[in-house]
Structure 1
């Protein structure tokens, strides 16, 4: 069973136009270059009763995979695109995955209004920050929606620091056609946030910097 809830103002025209047709073959093509997604999901460690939110859930592919690994977790997905959410709902139904979906803006998402959940034990963002103009606000909002002792998991395009310059230039030019911009300051911003919050940060460079993988773990509530 899956549920879609719609709330708030919708400023997602660009994303809806971009994915109105792409959503039908999105997963077939993205499997070749959205690297590290399954590693992220495998490391969520979401036992029974764990509340999980994917920010920018797209077609629902990642959440369906999470449902297979963590059948007793409480899975939620949000996205700004109604077109993507329509596909996500169909994907969940097709795979008999119990997932709740809601439309929303990641920079100001209110999980209680959308799902009746105040905070989540796990939040993940898979190739999401590179598509959101105000990505730093998205990070801040994600942390606000994270429970004490919870963890934020991120995989996204990296700086390609150990790859040939020609590859980096071609990749970024191609990504720009899809409104995607790698966030070169991601590590610096995450380290600053972790220091401010007293959180633990794990940051990895994957595949020569093609992708970056990060886990930020909040401390448990004092007392």
Structure 2
């Protein structure tokens, strides 16, 4: 059941994405760094099922599908606006409504996925720790959860760092702290983004 807080968060997401979803991919390529590197690392391993949490426009799913058309792909998306957009873009994917914190990720494809991807979405989740725990709980045996998201930006000069943090906070985005991500953590240049991999 959707909680009051989840309902409010979904309303915020739908208001925001209703205005921006047509230009989202074009604008985000200039500051959502590290995504394609994680996709390449995913494609370098052997798997046939993947669920992306917060797939947004379906951009990542579309790229994975082009490179691995035989894989079964799906998504769990809280925003109804983005889910409709992603389903139009990725008709071959199973994209279901739900929140990462408590959604039945295994039900998206009808089986626990071998890979779960969180790409620049964990920073927007209301309860990041629960989202990670829920994803790990739904992985297939031997599966992997990959995360790429904003780090603390501590390598940036003071003024750009402050400006970027203020910009992100306006969209309910918080940097993902390292202590949530365990020991397998890598940082991008200037600690702009962080990559983590969890195993089942």
Contact 2:117 2:146 in 1 (8 A): yes
Match of 1:206 among 188, 196, 199: 188
Equivalence for 1:5: none
Is the CA contact 1:47–1:70 (under 8 Å) kept in the aligned structure 2? no
- Structure 2 unmatched runs, 5+: none
Q: What's the RMSD between the two structures over aligned residues?
A: 1.7
Q: How many residues align?
A: 195
Pairwise CA distance, 1:112: 4.2
Shift of 1:156: 0.3
Q: Tell me what 1:159 maps to.
A: 152
C-alpha deviation, 1:49, in angstroms:
6.0
Q: 1:36 aligns with which of 28, 34, 52?
A: 34
Q: How does 1:8-23 map to 2 (within 5 A)?
A: 9=2, 11=7, 12-23=10-21
> Where does residue 103 of structure 1 map in the other structure?
97
CA contact (8 A) 1:47 1:72 kept: no
1:38-53 correspondence to structure 2 within 5 Å:
38-45=36-43, 50-53=48-51
Q: Offset of 1:48 from its aligned partner? A: 7.3
1:89 matched to 2:79? no
Calculate the TM-score normalised by the size of structure 2: 0.91
1:121-147 CA distance string (max 9 Å, x none): 000100011111211110110101111
Unmatched runs of 5 consecutive residues or more in structure 1: 1-7, 192-200, 219-223
Given the two structures, how large is their TM-score scaled by the length of structure 1? 0.82
* 2:199 is aligned with 1:217: yes
Q: Does 1:188 align with 2:188?
A: no
| Structure that is richer in strand per residue | 1
